[in-house]
Amino acid sequence: MISWRYHVVSLVAVVLAFGLGILAGTSVLDDRFVRQLEQNNAQARQERDAAVALANLYERFAAGLQPSLRDGVLAGEDAVVVTLEGVDRPAQRTVDELTAAGADVLATLELTRKLAEPEIEDNAAALEGILGLSGPDPEELRAGVADALAERLAVGSLTAEGDVLGDLLTGGFVTADRDLEPDALLGIGGGDQLVVIAAGGPQPTRPLAPEALLVPLTERLVRLDAPTVAVGPTEDAYGFVAAVRATNAIPDCSMVTVDDIDLAGIGGVTLAMAIDRLRVDADPSLLPGGDYGTRGDSIVPGAAEPPDSCRR
C-alpha cells in the first residue's frame, strides 16, 4: 500500500541524482551550488524513506485490525460471486476475502465471451432458445440475458427443467469454478443470498463496456431487492464500479460498492464491514448501502459522514 507521495519523491530523488552527476562534473559551477544540489537530493531521499515507512506502518496497522473487523463478520451468509471473462482479476481476491469473513461462497460464475457477443449468429440462436426470444437484435439479447440472469439469482429456481442458469452453463455461456450437481445448482440464487459482482483491472483486448452487460445486470438485481455488491480493484481501466456508481438507474445507497478490494489489509475489511452494514442496517435514518474505497464516499463505513442522498 505505497502512497502516491512515495512515487513522487522517488522520481524527484532520481532526477536530482541524475542532475547532480552531470552538473558536478562541469567546471563552470561553484561549490555552493553543488552542495545545495546534494542537500536537496538527500532531503528527497529522506522524504521518500519516510513515506515508505509510513505506508508500511499503515499496512501493518490495517493487517492487525483484520481479525476483529473482517474475520467471521459474515458468518452464516451465503454468497454467489459473478465476474466477466477478461476482467475477472478481482474475483478470486473477492472470494478469499468473503471466505475469511465467514461467508459461504457457493460458486463463482464467469460470464463468458460467448454471452457477451450475441452478434455472432450461433451465439444468438442459442441464446434465443434459452431465453425464449425470437429474432431480437444483439442489444435486446444482452438485455434479455441481464433480466433472466438477475431474476434467476435474485429469486432462484425450484426445478432443473427450464433453469436458465443451468442452460447457460450447458451452453458454455457461463462457467463455474466447481462442478454443480443438480441440487447444488438449485441451491444457487434466491433465499436472500448475496450477489457479489467482481470485475475490473486492465482494459481487455476486446472490451465489452460495463454498460453493455454487467451494469444492466446490477441494476436489475437491485430492482429485484437482491442484496447486491459491486467490487473492483484500485487500478481499474475497465471501470465497472465507476459505471455502477454513475448510473441513475441505481438509487444511492441501495447497494454496496467497493473499489479497492486488492488494497492490502483494507480491501477485505471494507468489504466485510460494508456487507455487514447492508445486512444489519443499524441506523434506520440511513439507507444501508454505500460507496466505499479510495474513490468512494469513505474508506470504510463510518469513516466519514454519508452523503445526504443516503438519508431516508
Q: What are phi and psi of 311, to 5 degrees?
A: -85, 140
- Radius of gyration over every alpha carbon of the chain, rounded to an integer in angstroms: 24
Q: What are phi and psi of 226, to 5 degrees?
A: -80, 135
- Sheet containing 104-111, strands listed edge to edge, beginning at the edge strand earlier in sequence: 174-176, 104-111, 78-84, 194-198, 228-231, 256-258, 290-292
Question: Predicted confidence band at 6 (pLDDT cuts at 50, 70, 90)?
Answer: very low
**Distance between CA atoms of residues 245 and 252, nearest Å:** 8
Burial class (CB in 10 A: 0-12, 13-18, 19+), 165: buried
Q: What is the mean pLDDT of residues 50-70?
A: 62
The pTM of this model reads 0.80
Contacts of 17 (CB under 8 A, 6+ apart): 41
Report pLDDT for 59. Answer: 60
Element (H, E) at 152: helix 138-155
Question: Predicted confidence band at 29 (pLDDT cuts at 50, 70, 90)?
Answer: low
Q: What are phi and psi of 84, to 5 degrees?
A: -130, 135
Report pLDDT for 70. Answer: 81
Question: Predicted confidence band at 62 (pLDDT cuts at 50, 70, 90)?
Answer: low
Say which amino acid occupies 7: H
